[in-house]
Structure formats: C-alpha cells, structure tokens
Amino acid sequence: MIAIISDIHSNLEALTNVSQEIKQKAVTDIICLGDIVGYGAEPIECLKLVRNLNPRIFLIGNHDEALIQGPIGFTHDAKEAIEWSRKILKPKWYSSRTTKNRWKFIANLPTTYLDNDILYVHGSPRDPTAEYILESDTDPVWGDPPRKLQQIFDMFPWLCFVGHSHQPGIITADYHFLKPADINYFYELDRKKKYIINVGSVGQPRDGDNRSCFVIMDENKIYYNRIAYDFNKTKEKIVKTKFLSPHSGDRLALGR
C-alpha cells in the first residue's frame, strides 16, 4: 500500500495526525507531492517530520520552489508566508550544516516522478509546479471534449497523481470529476482506463471539509482518508508569528 500526501503547508498539527494515521495502516511506501512549506507557522518542524516518515519520493511544489527562487505571481498571503519562511530557512554563511543541508534538500527536489505506468507531479504534467487541474476543466467547451485534459491525459500511461489545488477528486478518461464524498471515499480503478487523481491537502483543505486529506493506493484501489486535527491550535501559531496573514489561519476551520 502506498500513501500519497501533498500540500502540508507548514501545518504541524495536521501533519502529525496524518503521520500517525499512516503509521497505523499497513503502508509500505510514501510519496510526497510537494508544498511542504507556505501559509503555516512551522516550516522547519514540518520538514523534519515529513522527512522522518522516510518517503520514497519527494517532489517540489510551487511554494517550495518559490522559497528557493523567490515568490512571483503569488497572492499577498502566500507571498508573505514564503518570504517569512525564506528568512527562517535560508542559510547564512555561518549557519549550521543541518540548516545548509535542509536548504539543499529543498532546492534539489525533482518536479516529476514516473514509476512504471504511474506519474507523480505536484501540479500538472504540462507544468509540474504551476498549472492547476480543476473540476472546471472537465466542462466541455462548445460541446467538445476539454482540450486541456486531452493533452494532459496523453502525457501519462495509466495514473497521474497530483495535488496543488487542495481539492481532492478523481478525473476519469471521459472527463468526469468524482468527489471523495460522492464515491464514499473509495474507488476501484480499471487497468484499461486512465485517471487523474488529486490527493487533496494535508495542511490546508479547500473543498469545504476542514479535515486533512490524503490518499492510500492498494493495487487498483483508491482510498481517500480524512483526518481531523486541532486547527485552532494551528491558527493560534499563525497569529502569534505576527508576520503571517490571520486569514491563513481563519480559513482552516472552513476548509476553504
């Protein structure tokens, strides 16, 4: 069984509970699709915890990438969080080896990973860190199949796991978007059909459910897992920094 997690966003409470859930299951492998940092108040702690889980693959997300390169094209709240995290994480000449190695680790994360017939990416095969794949992309244009999705489906063999939008769901090859609640959090895949699977967000869900979200894959079966955590505690930490937007904490209770 493989656990696929994404979009932790420096939310230690959420990551801690998800980590405990993963350890309780018969998971043999972990994949992290990126965005370990951003929005939340504990980037260092989350980096340490997620690395201790020993995922087989770490990918870089757009917030992780912006941490290294600088934030361009981000919202005010996101940019503010990246710049604050950058001040905390970027090593100085006198920094410890641990600090320098942590920065080097993030900077060297890959953008995609192909494991036989399964592609893992943070955003989209067309643009691994920046492009969103959304439910609205399944809408036909003037009665024709969505060109964007046609192109994306041509870029992977069987499955494509993504994060980035914080909105979990499965897009089928006939361009239907299946929300986890609508499929009772379980879906059996057909080996002869392709799927795009958004695993949701550990640290900042935005589908109206404030519980953390991640996916477990067992052969051809997909299980969505929703895990409650103390979002008020996370919010308090964000407010206490005085450098992060309170909105990043307020939205946690709403799952938006």
Q: Given this model, what pLDDT does residue 80 score?
A: 94
pTM of the predicted model as reported, rounded to 2 decimal places: 0.95
May I ask the CATH class of domain 2-254?
alpha beta
Q: Given this model, what pLDDT does residue 144 score?
A: 72
Q: First-to-last CA distance in the chain?
A: 29
For 117: left if phi > 0, alpha if psi spans -120 to 50, otherwise beta; the answer is: alpha
**With contact defined as beta carbons under 8 Å apart, do 69 and 232 qualify?**
no
User: Which residues of the chain register pLDDT less than 50?
Assistant: none
All structural domains of the chain with their residue ranges = 2-254
Q: Given this model, what pLDDT does residue 218 score?
A: 95
Tokens 């994360």 -> residue: 109
